[in-house]
């Protein structure tokens, strides 16, 4: 779902002025308006949810509307997190993550558009981990600067997705960084086709390729919403590189292993999957 620069800056200003309770209420009302007035976006969410459930979901279902509302909440949180020093976050897997970082090698944190992935990176940065994220640039350069400035002011380094992203990512992994990547949507034409929730999807091959090239494990990571400014940060067991060379079979195997984890979260938190493009095709 597109976000214009002017509306985003207005939302940030209002969120900072109104305070949390009113800001969330305002965001939900705007989300409801978007839900009613954007039939193509609503149909994409409906199609994705229907694929997850394995049965048709009505366009006017509360579950569809809740996806829009969660997107509004996500924006309020991301745009004001610099004013909220201590959101309530229950962290699962922190000790295991610290043990992995003591190996002196970076880790690939493979997230999805579930819950609030931006805050997940910020929470880990505030815990003392060096965090770098790979982010798709927005079409509007002003919006891109706004989002990247917000990430950096919260201690998260940004690598723009593009021709140099792989080289810079490998460098950060060699330096021991946690490298955050979104793994639930392919933005190019070279992804890995597989089955997810019984539907056909194409997931990016980049995370698996980076893991094989760097020998850094993939750690599926999700920040799940449990209430206003309340979250649970879950870090799943690492997915270790299956080979020391990049082969189609190894890339397919690692991507499939992540898809198994992703499917579990999609089925458990379908209303928190903020995916507004039709990415799942039912056979």
DSSP secondary structure of the chain: ----HHHHHHHHHHHHHH-HHHHHHHHHHHHHHHHHH-HHHHHHHHHHHHHHHTS---TT-HHHHHHHHHHHHHHHHHHHGGG-S--EEEEESHHHHHHHHTTSS-EEEEE-SBB-HHHHHHHHHHTT--EEEEEPPPSSHHHHHHHHHHHHHTTEEEEESSTTHHHHHHHHHHTT-EEEEE-S---SS--EEEEETTEEEEE-SHHHHHHHHH-PPEEEEEEEEEETTEEEEEEPPPB--S-SS--HHHHHHHHHHHHHHHHHHHHH-GGGB---S---B--
Q: Which two tokens stand for residue 11?
A: 């939302």
* Ranges under pLDDT 70 in the chain: 1-2, 283
The pLDDT, as a whole number, for residue 2 is 63
Distances (CA, A) of 237 to 96, 234, 251: 8, 10, 18
Residue 109 near residue 178 (C-beta atoms within 8 A) = yes
Residue 63 φ/ψ, nearest 5 degrees: -60, -40
Classify residue 190 as exposed, middle or buried by CB count within 10 Å of its CB (0-12, 13-18, 19+): exposed
Residue 225 near residue 212 (C-beta atoms within 8 A) = no
d(CA 161, CA 158): 9
Instruction: Work out whether the CA dihedral 33, 36, 41, 47 comes out positive or negative.
Output: positive
DSSP secondary structure of 47-107: HHHHHHHTS---TT-HHHHHHHHHHHHHHHHHHHGGG-S--EEEEESHHHHHHHHTTSS-E
Classify residue 116 as exposed, middle or buried by CB count within 10 Å of its CB (0-12, 13-18, 19+): buried
The pLDDT, as a whole number, for residue 40 is 95
d(CA 125, CA 275): 25
Extents of the domains making up the chain: 5-272
pTM > 0.85: yes or no: yes
């Amino acid at each position: 779902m597109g976000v214009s620069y002017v509306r985003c800056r207005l939302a940030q200003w209002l969120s900072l002025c109104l305070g949390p309770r009113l800001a969330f209420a305002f965001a939900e009302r705007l989300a409801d308006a978007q839900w009613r007035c954007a039939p193509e976006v609503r149909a994409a969410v409906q199609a994705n949810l229907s694929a997850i459930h394995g049965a048709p979901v009505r366009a006017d279902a509360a579950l569809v509307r809740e996806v829009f509302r969660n997107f509004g909440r996500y924006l309020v949180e991301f745009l004001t997190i610099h004013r909220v020093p201590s959101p309530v976050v229950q962290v699962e897997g922190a000790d295991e993550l610290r043990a992995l970082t003591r190996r002196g090698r970076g880790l690939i944190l493979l997230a999805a558009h579930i819950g609030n992935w931006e805050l997940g990176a910020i929470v880990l940065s505030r815990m003392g981990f060096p965090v770098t994220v790979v982010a798709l640039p927005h079409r509007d350069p002003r919006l891109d600067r706004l989002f990247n400035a917000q990430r950096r002011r919260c201690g998260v380094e940004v690598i723009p997705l593009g021709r140099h992203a792989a080289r810079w990512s490998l460098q950060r992994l060699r330096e021991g960084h946690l490298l955050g990547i979104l793994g639930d949507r392919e933005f190019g034409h070279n992804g890995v086709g597989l089955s997810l929730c019984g539907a056909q999807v194409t997931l990016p091959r980049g995370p698996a390729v980076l893991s094989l090239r760097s020998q850094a494990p993939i750690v599926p990571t999700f920040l799940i919403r449990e209430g206003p400014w309340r979250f649970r940060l879950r870090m799943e067991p690492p997915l270790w590189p299956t080979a020391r060379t990049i082969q189609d079979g190894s890339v397919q195997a690692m991507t499939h292993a992540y898809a198994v984890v992703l499917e579990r979260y999609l089925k458990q938190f379908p209303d928190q999957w903020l995916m507004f493009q039709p990415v799942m095709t039912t056979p």
